[in-house]
Chain A
């Protein structure tokens, strides 16, 4: 098992279809993908749908989690981060996607992701 880290710029160059195809290709090869930034919610549900359409004896779907590096509580911080998100769009944060045959669970916390392997 390996980990492939993909930059936001690389993903942005691809069409939506190619992005999802690339992620699934890696995950089906039993590797974990780390993306800079995040997919939009529509892409996420397409990724889930396509992953489930590929379920077989060897592949049982995916584990996916997103770490938002700019969560905030204070009003000023919220305002700053909202502005940052408008400018950077989906570039902020890290998305982890892996095959569920290998990853048991990804525990999400606003400040960390804990990946538990089988």
Chain B
């Protein structure tokens, strides 16, 4: 009886002790601003400084060529807190041609090596889908979202029963069209942000708590 009683109390209190911790993945096509958004989230939580992790960003596609992770982040909002590991992934693409990098001014050998790494990165990214609990699908809102890569990615997340939020990034740019993304993917929660200026990022945090908490 004593054993049963203590077991009940152990379970009861462990419910309060247990903190929800998720692996939050940033997925999307190349150059959508995943790493910029990851840096913004990290900065908002940990602040700035030399010891704060920061991902490399670039205008040239496939700057992120391997899955990167920052562990044990805690997002707090309105008295709630969400513990998570942030996973930044290489942009998903169906093709990688080293000649595209040459056209952007790279030497042939560097372009070949970048293409090879980028290819491995996309494959790794797709395989990592099984390791994330929830996903921010980051799309460039200046580009037509109706393409097979986005449809396949979201289809995969739904098939794998992953929770997702669509983040329409680059809202600060004149050609941004968040409504178009809403029209193409009306079934999913969506938020417009500018990872660069920070505009809309607080709204993103509210939706993260609503959808993932």
- Chain A contact residues, CB within 8 Å of chain B: 40-42, 44-45, 48-49, 51-53, 55, 57, 60-66, 100-101, 106, 108-110
Cβ 8 A contact of B148, one of A42, A52, A66, A101: A66
Q: How far is the CB of B87 from chain A (nearest CB, A)?
A: 17
B94 & A41 in contact (Cβ 8 Å cutoff): no
- Which residues on B sit within 8 Å (CB–CB) of A63? 94-95
Q: How far is the CB of A111 from chain B (nearest CB, A)?
A: 11
- Chain B contact residues, CB within 8 Å of chain A: 92-99, 115, 119, 122-123, 126-127, 129, 146-148, 151-152, 155-156, 158-159
Cβ 8 A contact of A60, one of B97, B127, B148: B97
| Beyond A42-B159, A45-B126, A53-B119, 18 additional pairs, beta carbon < 8 A | A42-B156, A44-B148, A44-B155, A48-B122, A48-B152, A52-B122, A60-B96, A60-B97, A60-B99, A61-B95, A62-B94, A62-B95, A63-B94, A63-B95, A64-B94, A66-B148, A100-B97, A109-B146
How many CB-defined contacts (below 8 Å) exist between A and B?
69
A53 nearest CB neighbor, chain B only: B123
- Answer whether A52 and B152 are a contact pair too, CB < 8 Å, given A60-B95, A100-B94: no
A64 nearest CB neighbor, chain B only: B148
- Which residues on A sit within 8 Å (CB–CB) of B151? 66
B152 nearest CB neighbor, chain A only: A44
List 6 contacting pairs A-B, 8 Å CB cutoff, sorted by A: A48-B152, A51-B94, A52-B96, A55-B96, A61-B95, A65-B147
Q: How far apart are the CA atoms of A18 and B119 in the complex, in Å? A: 23
- Which residues on A sit within 8 Å (CB–CB) of B127? 49
- Which residues on A sit within 8 Å (CB–CB) of B126? 45, 48-49
Q: How far apart are the CA atoms of A62 and B149 in the complex, in Å? A: 11
Q: How far is the CB of B184 from chain A (nearest CB, A)?
A: 9
Q: How far apart are the CA atoms of A53 and B119 in the complex, in Å? A: 7
Q: How far apart are the CA atoms of A60 and B96 in the complex, in Å? A: 5
A108 & B94 in contact (Cβ 8 Å cutoff): no
**Highest count of chain B CB atoms <10 Å: which of A61, A109, A110:** A61
B183 nearest CB neighbor, chain A only: A110
B123 & A52 in contact (Cβ 8 Å cutoff): yes
- Which residues on B sit within 8 Å (CB–CB) of A60? 95-99
- Which residues on B sit within 8 Å (CB–CB) of A40? 155, 159
Q: How far apart are the CA atoms of A51 and B152 in the complex, in Å? A: 15
- Which residues on A sit within 8 Å (CB–CB) of B123? 49, 52-53
